[in-house]
Amino acid sequence: MQKKATGKNVGAISPVLTSPEAWLHPSPNGLYCAPGKFHIDPHSPVERAIITHGHSDHARSGHGAVLATPETIEIMKVRYGANAARRFEPQPYGVTTNIGGVAVRLVPAGHILGSAQVILEWQGRRIVVSGDYKRETDPTCAPFELVHCDVFVTEATFALPVFRHGPADREARKLIASLGCQPDRTHLLGVYGLGKAQRMIALLRAEGYDAPIYLHGALVALCELYERIGIELGDLRPASEAKGKPLPGTLVLAPPSALADRWSQRFADPVTAFASGWMQVRGRVRQRGVELPLVVSDHADWPDLVDTCLATGASEIWVTHGRDDALVHELGKRGQHARALALIGFEDEDD
């Protein structure tokens, strides 16, 4: 029986056939759907996996079959090679397949290119596993789509009320202004290599920054993939092309780990910039020795997390990873049943 998503009371009117835990529950390898016999974002190799997005703590190599968006599959192939899984099953947004009686549909999560929420329907109940998501617009990926459901499985990376992310284009302008007033220094921007790097480039291009942008070797392949998929990133050059020259006045993007590495020593008196949601907290800025903190996050901030959980109309909220205690508390206060799944294996990624 297919039930239409009509609004807030979806959960309340559906007949209680089985508890949701009976068909989707945490297992040692991550979330497991029993009737469909598949895992979602498992952290060790399994027979059948559905992958929400390409970040390495969600997408790992070595699974039997991998169902994901075509973009996520391309990302996995770039990162882990064409044989990262025995079989890839690309499934575009909006298409439904049936796996062991469970209807599986992917819809955009707005987190990074290809990121998806997994919509599962079984015996008239609907669970949405959102993976990581954000509500802010991002020129490099499809916007988050709200799907009403009985159970909403949410992340909680930035689930503290201190996290209220401002508009990302403002941060891009801040970087451009700094480049303009310190022309003798290299601006070294630390970014997570998948998603954040390309989003920052796209934001800068949209603000009119059309100078060449240099890339640390670890970012090159993924930027090429984005361009292949049709996301214009402008004039990008590998930093290795400069052959150790100090590149004053230019912008160089690198993964966070490279900022304090010897690799960074070649540049002209670098301004260390870092684009991450964590940059909202001064302690994190100091800890990393960042001179130009840019608050740009690919995760929902506190108000968006709370609003999204409530807007799904779900009767239950499951919190997978991050600061679950604050979110569970806040939702509980608003009369929303919420609990922490305490899934292991997810990192406070460098976002």
Query: What residues line the site for other proteins (CB under 8 A)?
Result: 160-162, 164, 259-262, 264-265, 269, 272, 280-283, 285-286, 289-293, 323, 325-326, 329-330, 333
Beta strands at 48-50 and 271-275: parallel, antiparallel or unpaired: unpaired
Q: What does the block give as tokens for 270?
A: 């670098």
What is the DSSP annotation of 112-169? STT-EEEEEEETTEEEEE--S---S--TTSPPP-----SEEEEEETT-STT-----HH
Structure tokens of 139?
């020129």
Sign of CA dihedral 154, 155, 161, 165: negative
Instruction: Tell me how far, at minimum, the Cβ of 244 lies from other proteins, in Å.
Output: 14
The C-alpha atoms of residue 2 and residue 247 are separated, in whole angstroms, by 60
Shortest CB 348 distance to other proteins, Å: 12
- What are the helix (H) ranges across 272-322? 282-287, 302-311
CA angle 312, 339, 28 (to 5 degrees): 110
Smaller CB distance to other proteins: residue 99 or 326? 326
- What is the rounded distance in angstroms from the CA atom of residue 201 to the CA atom of residue 218? 15
Instruction: Compute the least distance from the CB of residue 137 to other proteins, in Å.
Output: 20
Nearer to other proteins (CB atom), residue 215 or residue 259: 259
CA atoms within 13 A on the CB side of 200: 33
Radius of gyration of the chain (CA): 21
CB of 158: closest distance to other proteins in angstroms? 11
Task: Give the SS3 label for residue 309.
Answer: helix
C-beta closer to other proteins: residue 113 or 279: 279
CB of 329 to other proteins, least distance (A): 5
Q: To the nearest whole angstrom, how small is the minimum distance from the Cβ of residue 277 to other proteins?
A: 13
Q: How far is the CB of 69 from other proteins (least distance, A)?
A: 33
Looking at the Cβ atoms of 55 and 165, the one nearer to other proteins is 165
Residue nearer to other proteins on the CB measure, 31 or 306: 306
Q: Show Cβ contacts of residue 27 under 8 Å, excluding neighbours closer than 6 positions.
A: 39
